[in-house]
């Protein structure tokens, strides 16, 4: 029997980039096929071609043995292909039913919407696959995990039997990921075929029937979880051996460097985003802050680095009150900051690498003498740092905007790590980076810790927090749910805390 879907020699060129280079792929009926690859490997481009958002330059698509021309999403929908986008395509002020029927509305008398009919069909689909979604609920009131199920319902409502999920777990808590996997298994057991795009090795091993690895727009190989291991997959993705776990010795915590007392911070809309947080970070230890994005971590880091005023509470760095200090004053106390959004807050994109490397020290000797920049010293220092931190750039005069994400991040790390620092505040330091760069940055952070630097690591990636931290603080709705020692904390425990379950209840369920 012909495969449900077959891609043959798909090639797509963008100006200067070969995004897809003769990619061939088959999808069998009822299969969960993982498409694994780093950012920029061409996964999303390939799927956008399949969904009719891009046109391929070469290659053919066969659906159930028939040659298919997919020019626009409507064609894909007609062929039974549906896609759950990384950023949900849901209208927040519409109900579930309105979102689901948009584009294929049930109507009475030719024009009037028939919401009841849609609701009936959504209930039926919801029951069949165990989705548990209320068709009358407004999207904006639903948690992210449920919104994702609405996206899946949208596909099933259109009778899609080839489902593409683009990085579906990026926004979910570990428990929600488990729920999603249950749903995916239910779908595949009832004959739906699924393409699962991700760069997370653990998920691939847990859910996939087959795995195809992409690198630089090419298929590196296809395998199954039984025949491979995480290490092997990582090597296929990156093209060399990668250490997945950071080697680290037990921490030797010293004196407290950062002390936060009952800190409160408002967000942009005037809501209290951080609601009374207290903790300390000591020299020589990594404190990781875990939590689903949007639970006050951003505002917490901004307050600590002086970028956002505190609404209440106090911040001490090396026993000095810096609650109302300016960002430069905080910097000069020996604080390094790797910001969450490197392009917006970490770099001046149009500046050359060399200038970005001295953004926080340019006014000090040796870079400036009596208020005048010394270009030669700046350039010489930049050459040295670029070599030392392995920044891949044509020259130190290249604008950082033309570097890859991983190399941009290395520029920030090089700038922040190469001055004497006592406290490192790293917010999502590996966001969007490939496995190779992640390994590098993790190793650097642990090095800093071992030099006696205090590290506050904020990340929504639970694996990263668990890997690097000595203690883990879990944030939920602006508060710290609990601070746990990393060696005894379990993923389940942290996941429940991240979802808002209280510490006592977690112990009760676990024990």
Under the binding rule (CB under 8 A), the answer on residue 23 touching other proteins is: no
Q: How far is CA 204 from CA 144, 394, 499, in A?
A: 21, 35, 23
Provide φ and ψ at 206, rounded to 5°: -80, -35
Binding mask 284-323 for other proteins (x = CB under 8 A): ----------------------------------------
Q: How far is CA 143 from CA 84, 149, 269, 497, in A?
A: 16, 10, 20, 16
Under the binding rule (CB under 8 A), the answer on residue 103 touching other proteins is: yes
E strand residue ranges, 69-208: 81-84, 107-108, 112-113, 162-166, 193-198
Binding mask 445-464 for other proteins (x = CB under 8 A): --------------------
What is the spatial distance between Cα 131 and Cα 183, in angstroms, rounded to a whole number? 7
Under the binding rule (CB under 8 A), the answer on residue 29 touching other proteins is: no
Q: How far is the CB of 481 from other proteins (least distance, A)?
A: 24
Under the binding rule (CB under 8 A), the answer on residue 73 touching other proteins is: yes
Q: How far is the CB of 483 from other proteins (least distance, A)?
A: 29
**Within the chain, how many helices (H) and strands (E) appear?**
17, 24
Under the binding rule (CB under 8 A), the answer on residue 93 touching other proteins is: yes
Q: How far is the CB of 73 from other proteins (least distance, A)?
A: 5
Question: Judged by CB under 8 A, which of 12, 33, 149, 154 binds other proteins?
Answer: 154
Pairing of strands 112-113, 5-14: unpaired
Nearest to 449 by CA among 457, 439, 438: 457
Give the binding range for other proteins (CB under 8 A) out of 63-71, 104-112, 177-185, 333-341. Answer: 104-112
What is the spatial distance between Cα 23 and Cα 42, in angstroms, rounded to a whole number? 10
Q: How far is the CB of 88 from other proteins (least distance, A)?
A: 8
Question: Judged by CB under 8 A, which of 25, 50, 70, 90 binds other proteins?
Answer: 90
Q: With CB under 8 A as the rule, give the number of residues binding other proteins.
A: 28
Query: Is the distance from CB of 478 to CB of 274 less than 8 angstroms?
Result: yes
Question: Judged by CB under 8 A, which of 94, 181, 316, 351 binds other proteins?
Answer: 94
Collapsed DSSP state (helix, strand, coil) of residue 32: strand
3-state SS of 207-244 is HCCEEEEEECCEEEEEECHHHCCHHHHHHHHHCCCCCC
Long-range residue pairs from 125-129, CB within 8 A, at least 24 positions apart, any chain: 125/153, 125/156, 125/157, 126/153, 128/190, 129/156, 129/183, 129/186, 129/187, 129/190
Q: How far is the CB of 200 from other proteins (least distance, A)?
A: 24
Under the binding rule (CB under 8 A), the answer on residue 14 touching other proteins is: no
Question: Judged by CB under 8 A, which of 2, 14, 17, 74 binds other proteins?
Answer: 74
Under the binding rule (CB under 8 A), the answer on residue 364 touching other proteins is: no
Query: Is the distance from CB of 425 to CB of 445 less than 8 angstroms?
Result: no
Give the binding range for other proteins (CB under 8 A) out of 88-96, 269-277, 299-307, 495-503. Answer: 88-96
Under the binding rule (CB under 8 A), the answer on residue 72 touching other proteins is: yes
Quickly tell me which residue has 């609601």 as its tokens. 275
Under the binding rule (CB under 8 A), the answer on residue 92 touching other proteins is: yes
**Interface positions with other proteins (CB under 8 A):** 48, 51, 53-54, 72-74, 77, 83, 85, 89-94, 98-99, 101-105, 107, 111-113, 154
């Amino acid at each position: 029997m012909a495969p449900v879907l077959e891609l043959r020699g798909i090639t797509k060129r963008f100006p200067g980039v070969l995004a897809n280079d003769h990619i061939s792929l088959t999808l069998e009926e009822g299969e969960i096929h993982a498409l694994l690859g780093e950012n920029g490997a061409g996964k999303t481009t390939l799927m956008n071609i399949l969904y009719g958002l891009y046109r391929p330059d070469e290659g053919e698509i066969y659906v159930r043995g028939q040659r298919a021309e997919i020019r626009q999403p409507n064609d894909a929908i007609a062929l039974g292909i549906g896609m759950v986008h990384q950023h949900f395509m849901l209208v927040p002020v519409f109900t579930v039913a309105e979102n689901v029927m948009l584009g294929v509305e049930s109507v009475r008398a030719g024009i009037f919407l028939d919401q009841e009919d849609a609701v009936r069909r959504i209930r039926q689909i919801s029951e069949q696959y165990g989705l548990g979604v209320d068709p009358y609920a407004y999207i904006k009131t639903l948690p992210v995990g449920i919104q994702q199920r609405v996206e899946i319902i949208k596909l099933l409502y259109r009778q899609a039997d080839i489902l593409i999920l683009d990085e579906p777990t990026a926004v979910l808590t570990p428990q929600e990921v488990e729920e999603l996997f249950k749903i995916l298994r239910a779908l595949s057991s009832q004959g739906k075929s699924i393409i699962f795009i991700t760069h997370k090795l653990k998920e691939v091993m847990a859910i996939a029937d087959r795995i195809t690895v992409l690198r630089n727009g090419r298929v590196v190989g296809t395998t199954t979880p039984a025949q491979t291991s995480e290490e092997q997959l990582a090597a296929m993705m990156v093209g060399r051996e990668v250490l997945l776990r950071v080697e680290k010795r037990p921490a030797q915590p010293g004196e407290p460097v950062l002390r936060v007392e009952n800190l409160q911070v408002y967000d942009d809309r005037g809501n209290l985003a951080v609601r009374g947080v207290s903790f300390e970070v000591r020299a020589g230890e990594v404190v990781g802050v875990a939590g689903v994005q949007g639970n006050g971590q951003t505002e917490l880091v901004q307050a600590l680095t002086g970028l956002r005023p505190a609404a209440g509470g106090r911040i001490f760095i090396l026993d000095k009150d810096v609650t109302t200090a300016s960002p430069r004053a905080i910097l000069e106390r020996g604080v390094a900051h790797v910001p969450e959004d490197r392009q917006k807050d970490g770099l001046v994109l149009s500046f050359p690498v060399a200038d970005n490397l001295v953004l926080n020290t340019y006014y000090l000797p040796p870079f400036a003498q009596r208020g005048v920049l010394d270009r030669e010293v700046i350039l010489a220092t930049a050459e040295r740092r670029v070599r030392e931190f392995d920044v891949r750039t044509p020259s130190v005069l290249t604008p950082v905007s033309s570097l890859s994400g991983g190399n941009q991040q290395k520029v920030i790390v090089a700038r922040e790590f190469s001055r004497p620092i006592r406290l490192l505040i790293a917010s999502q330091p590996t966001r969007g980076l490939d496995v190779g760069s992640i390994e590098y940055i993790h190793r650097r952070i642990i090095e800093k810790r071992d030099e006696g630097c205090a590290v506050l690591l904020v990340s929504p990636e639970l694996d990263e927090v668990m890997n690097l931290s000595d203690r883990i603080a879990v944030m939920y709705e602006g508060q710290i749910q609990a601070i746990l020692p990393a060696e005894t904390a379990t993923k389940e425990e942290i996941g429940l805390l991240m979802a808002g379950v209280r510490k006592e209840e977690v112990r009760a369920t676990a024990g």
